[in-house]
Amino acid sequence: MDGALRAIRWARETGRPFLGTCGGFQHAIVEYARNVLGLVAADHAESNPIAALPLISPLACSLDGATGTIRLKPGSRLGAIYGRTEIVERYQCNFGLNPRHQSLLDNAKLAIVGRDENGEVRAVEMGGNPFFVATLYQPEQSAFGGAAHPLIRAFVSAALNSK
């Protein structure tokens, strides 16, 4: 996990485009909590089940193979990419942001921009960065159907335009 956290931190601090899905979403939240919010004990319950601060914990219900509706925050980058505020996406995840700690991101620069029907966090993005998006869902699964997903296209465009 340390290598992933270093790469995410580098992207965040240098303004390089970043797209994290499933595990990338989870690690982006841990990286932000540790290095921006100063919560050095923030951890992932899958790799550290006895973590003092299990920021990422098992989901109440597995999303492995599930499809669900996500409501995007109006005015968010994700909303602009999709051109709407309600989307349906696929998951392969069993871990997510611990609901007890969602409030840590309420006024953070890493903002919650997508929630499922139960209000659980499914997407975050960072303002002030040309492209820093993390989703619990996995848009790359659209490639199995031969479709170019709008989020993947937006990330590739941001990467191509990056200095």
- pLDDT tens for 47-79 read 999 999 999 998 887 777 788 999 999 999 999
Task: Return d(Cα 133, Cα 13) in angstroms, integer.
Answer: 14
Task: Return d(Cα 54, Cα 96) in angstroms, integer.
Answer: 10
Q: What is the pLDDT of residue 19?
A: 96
Q: Which two tokens stand for residue 34?
A: 């540790």
Structural domain containing residue 114: 2-161
Question: Which residues does 104 contact at the CB level (< 8 Å), separation at least 6?
Answer: 33, 37, 39, 55
Q: What is the pLDDT of residue 26?
A: 95
Structural domains in the chain (count): 1
Judged against a pLDDT cut of 80, whether residue 141 lies above it is answered with no
Question: 3-class SS at 70?
Answer: strand
Q: Which amino acid is at 119?
A: G
Q: Residue 29 is part of a domain; what is its CATH number?
A: 3.40.50.880
pLDDT digits over 74-125, tens only?
999 999 999 999 999 988 889 999 999 999 888 889 999 999 999 999 999 9
pTM score, two decimals?
Answer: 0.92
